[in-house]
Amino acid sequence: MHLPRLDWQMWFFALSEDCGEEPAFIAFAARLLDGSPAVSNLLAHDPFAGRKPRYIRSRSEMYRFTTGAERAATGAYWTHEPTSDYCPVLGE
């Protein structure tokens, strides 16, 4: 199965509780820290405003469907809450 989209890859990375088990995630983070335009262009928007980030924090989040009341109030189908750090803070 070939799933090239970054969002799918991130979903699979999160199946491992330790980022050290995912060399592709470490490579992705390292390229972001290097300021690689090819990698930052994979993101929907550049959170680093064209600059190299000094640090990267990765968090795991728990997603769930909204309740009927939440859906009526916000229009959202999903809600999420941070659960833990996926990887220690990575930096230069």
Cβ-based neighbour number of residue 36 at 10 Å: 14
Cβ-based neighbour number of residue 14 at 10 Å: 17
Query: Quick one: pLDDT at residue 3?
Result: 55
Task: Write out the two tokens for 46.
Answer: 């550049």
Question: Would residue 44 count as lying in a domain?
Answer: yes
For 27-50, how does the pLDDT look when each residue is reduced to its tens digit (9 = 90+)? 999 999 999 998 888 888 888 888
Question: Would residue 32 count as lying in a domain?
Answer: yes
For 37-87, how does the pLDDT look when each residue is reduced to its tens digit (9 = 90+)? 988 888 888 888 889 999 999 998 899 999 999 999 999 999 999 998 999
pLDDT reading at 17 higher than 90: no
Query: Quick one: pLDDT at residue 71?
Result: 97
Radius of gyration of the chain (CA): 15
Question: Would residue 54 count as lying in a domain?
Answer: yes
Number of structural domains the chain divides into: 1
The whole model's pTM is what? 0.76
Question: Would residue 15 count as lying in a domain?
Answer: yes
Instruction: List the domain range (segments joined by +) for residue 36.
Output: 6-91
Find, among 22, 41, 1, the residue nearest to 87 by Cα: 22
Question: Would residue 1 count as lying in a domain?
Answer: no
